[in-house]
């Protein structure tokens, strides 16, 4: 399909081109497809693409809003599979973590965060998940929400907790989507209180959310065709690849 030039003229914030928006729309579709089909990975992929095209000051706040739309749509489509006991303590921890992150003036070194998260995820897959991850959703919510204020995509960290619940594939996707909706919602509220002008970004954000919902529908078709064993193997493989990429990126930045 050929897209008419100038379609978004006058609706874009300063620093974002129309060509960049169309590239981001494609990335949003693909990232949501990947997340539904394999349970994780889309948020980190979307953040990586946005980092190339979106002004740095707007990167983390706008990524959070887009992820709300993506995860909320995924949670709605798989609503009956959500493991609700995981949410209350995680929500409380997310509020605490985002609040603490918003108060921190000195930014955490991105390389250190990337290496730390990557090593933690790899350890949780190749070894036995630590008891704190399995039984302390409040701690997971607090730590991941603190990190997301600086790093953006902490879905890998939260997926470690979701995976430790030993849920079937639909339950994993649904519960992870619900947890990430909570986390990105709390983060967006925190950035709003800190003064970020979300209103300037409504048009591109709305377009990316719509593309993400389309990707969610497409990814659900593949999810329904996977059995639990194949889903678990695919999830572990995706997690390990992303963990390795995080560690490598962090080491190169040191």
pLDDT, tens only, 154-209: 777 788 788 888 889 889 889 999 999 999 999 999 888 888 888 889 889 999 99
Is 35:43 a contact under the CB 8 Å cutoff?
Answer: yes
Tokens of 116: 């730390």
Mean pLDDT for 216-227 is: 79
Cα separation values, 137 from 69, 75, 111, 116, 222, Å: 23, 19, 25, 19, 29
What pLDDT shows up at residue 46? 82
14 or 86, higher pLDDT: 86
Would the pLDDT of 2 be above 60? no
Q: What is the pLDDT of residue 210?
A: 92
CA distance 254 to 252: 6
Sign of torsion over alpha carbons 208, 157, 85, 166: positive
Structure tokens at 162: 């979701």
The contacts of residue 153 (CB under 8 Å, 6+ apart) are 43, 44, 46, 47, 63, 67
pTM (2 d.p.):
0.77
Alpha helices in the chain (DSSP H): 18-38, 42-53, 56-77, 87-103, 110-126, 131-135, 137-151, 155-164, 169-193, 202-225, 228-253
Q: pLDDT for 24-78, tens place per residue? A: 999 899 888 878 777 667 777 787 788 788 887 788 889 889 989 888 988 998 8
Residue 137 has pLDDT above 90, yes or no: no
CA distance 5 to 27: 19
């Amino acid at each position: 399909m050929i897209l008419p030039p100038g379609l978004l003229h006058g609706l874009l914030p300063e620093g974002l081109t129309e060509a960049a928006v169309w590239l981001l729309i494609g990335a949003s579709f693909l990232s949501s497809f990947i997340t539904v089909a394999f349970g994780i990975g889309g948020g980190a992929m979307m953040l990586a693409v946005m980092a190339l095209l979106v002004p740095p000051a707007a990167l983390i706040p706008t990524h959070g809003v887009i992820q709300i739309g993506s995860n909320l749509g995924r949670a709605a489509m798989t609503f009956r599979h959500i493991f609700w006991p995981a949410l209350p303590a995680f929500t409380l921890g997310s509020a605490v973590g985002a609040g603490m992150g918003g108060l921190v003036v000195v930014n955490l070194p991105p390389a250190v965060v990337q290496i730390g998260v990557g090593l933690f995820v790899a350890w949780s897959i190749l070894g036995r998940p630590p008891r704190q991850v399995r039984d302390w959703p409040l701690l997971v919510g607090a730590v991941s929400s603190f990190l997301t204020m600086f790093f953006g995509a902490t879905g890998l960290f939260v997926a470690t907790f979701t995976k430790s619940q030993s849920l079937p594939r639909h339950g994993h996707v649904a519960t992870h989507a619900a947890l990430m909706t909570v986390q990105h919602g709390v983060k967006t509220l925190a950035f709003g209180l800190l003064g970020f002008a979300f209103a300037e970004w409504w048009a591109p954000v709305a377009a990316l959310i719509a593309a993400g919902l389309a990707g969610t529908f497409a990814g659900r078709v593949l999810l329904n065709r996977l059995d639990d064993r194949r889903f678990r193997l695919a999830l572990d493989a995706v997690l390990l690849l992303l963990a390795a990429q995080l560690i490598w990126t962090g080491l190169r930045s040191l």
